[in-house]
Amino acid sequence: MLKGVKLASVLAVASLALAACGSSSDTAESAAPTAAASAVKVGMAYDQDGKGDGSFNDAAFAGLSKAQTDLGVEIKEVNSGAGATDAAREELLTLLAEGGYNPVIAVGFAYSTALAAVAPKFPETTFAIVDSVVDSPNVGSLIFAAEQGSYLTGVIAASASKSGHIGFIGGMEIDLIKAFEAGYNEGARSVNPDIIIDSKYMGPAGDNTAWNVPEKAKTATDGMIANGADVIYAAAGGSGLGMFQSVKAAGAGYWAIGVDSDQYTVPALAEYKDFILTSMLKRVDVAVYDVIAALVNGAPLVGIQAFDLSKEGVGYSSSNSAVAEYAAAADAAAAKIASGEVVVGTTVE
């Protein structure tokens, strides 16, 4: 998902954040089953501003860092920057592939068009993309059942709400984010069929500014709170910061729910942690590590790779002890979803 709480100036499209600068000259050979892990060069193309977003870019970096530590791979990181074009993203992916990085991992659906153009040009390179499906024999499409994890946060939100009124802040109004809203709504209504749920998106499909307008999200959240909502869930990238600001300003009795990473533990959000009840976890770190480990083991992950509750690909965080009161209900819901007893929809009713 396109996320970010970092409000520093955006990086230029072609800027490179070099995390490791080993001198290995291996290229396609690094994908061979007999290659040592140290010969594998991993290229990571982040979305928007990259690391420091406290969300899915950071989660991707966590998986990359684990692979670097555990497997000894060499890594290189690049950022698309805000407002990047498909041509600019294509250039970044090409840069990594031509540099012998294999696998090359694109973080975010915004890379879909660029990856579809680049992957066929490098058939010996394994690519992966988060949150999108690219139909190419050398691409692994990493898909997360966000609606399932969001169902759990909906259960928690409805259980924690004293007013019977909750809210949802979305980033760009696209199917990917609507799945978060759909799961959240279903989970909440499984607890309280009469619950009131407010919803507001920060921009229409195609409007990339929707991910970085925290002031707009704050205004929207302020309105929801004024109307009676006391628990708000944001799946809105950097815009989510505004939701945290609004909930903190509202004070005791109001809760925020984070997304993708455990935002209660994110240093950049420390001043809001006492108001972050839980976060919907999308285990991008697990998926990224799996892609790299598979390549090291000589069996690249390609095709659609689905990460759902049954695979612990999504879930909810429990860092804030306040969520313990609602854990039994959330865990019971998770068990029903994992077993197939409950099937969560991806469209908003």
Q: How far apart are CA 286 and CA 306, in angstroms?
A: 12
| SS3 (DSSP) at 303 | strand
Per the CB < 8 A criterion, the answer to whether 114 and 86 are in contact is yes
pLDDT at 38: 66
Question: Is the sign of the CA dihedral 198, 203, 204, 206 positive or negative?
Answer: negative
CB within 8 A of 218, min separation 6: which ones? Answer: 242, 243, 245, 246
Extract the runs of DSSP E, i.e. beta strands, from the chain: 16-17, 41-46, 74-79, 104-106, 127-130, 139-144, 165-173, 196-204, 231-235, 255-260, 276-282, 303-307, 314-316
Angle at 302 between CA 296 and CA 303, to 5 degrees: 165
**Which helix (H) or strand (E) covers residue 91, if one does?**
helix 86-98
Question: How far, CA to CA in Å, does 121 sit from each of 62, 97, 105, 278?
Answer: 29, 9, 16, 43
pLDDT at 304: 96
pLDDT at 36: 60
Q: Pull the structure tokens for residue 349.
A: 């009713």
Angle at 217 between CA 212 and CA 220, to 5 degrees: 155
pLDDT at 52: 76
Q: Pull the structure tokens for residue 126.
A: 């394994």
Residue 281's DSSP bridge partners are 260, 315
Q: Give the count of alpha carbons within 13 A of 36, CB side only.
A: 6
- What radius of gyration do the chain's Cα atoms show? 20
Angle at 200 between CA 195 and CA 201, to 5 degrees: 140
| SS3 (DSSP) at 313 | coil
pTM of the model: 0.81
Per the CB < 8 A criterion, the answer to whether 199 and 168 are in contact is yes
pLDDT at 129: 98
Question: How far, CA to CA in Å, does 232 sit from each of 77, 254, 302, 346?
Answer: 33, 8, 37, 19
Q: Structural domains in the chain?
A: 16-144+284-309 (3.40.50.2300), 146-282+318-339 (3.40.50.2300)
Q: How far apart are CA 265 and CA 328, in angstroms?
A: 22
Residues of the chain with pLDDT under 50: 1-35
193-223 residues labelled b (16+ CB within 10 A) or e (exposed): eebbbbbbbbbeeeebebbbbbebbbebbbe
- What's CA 84's distance to the chain center, in Å? 19
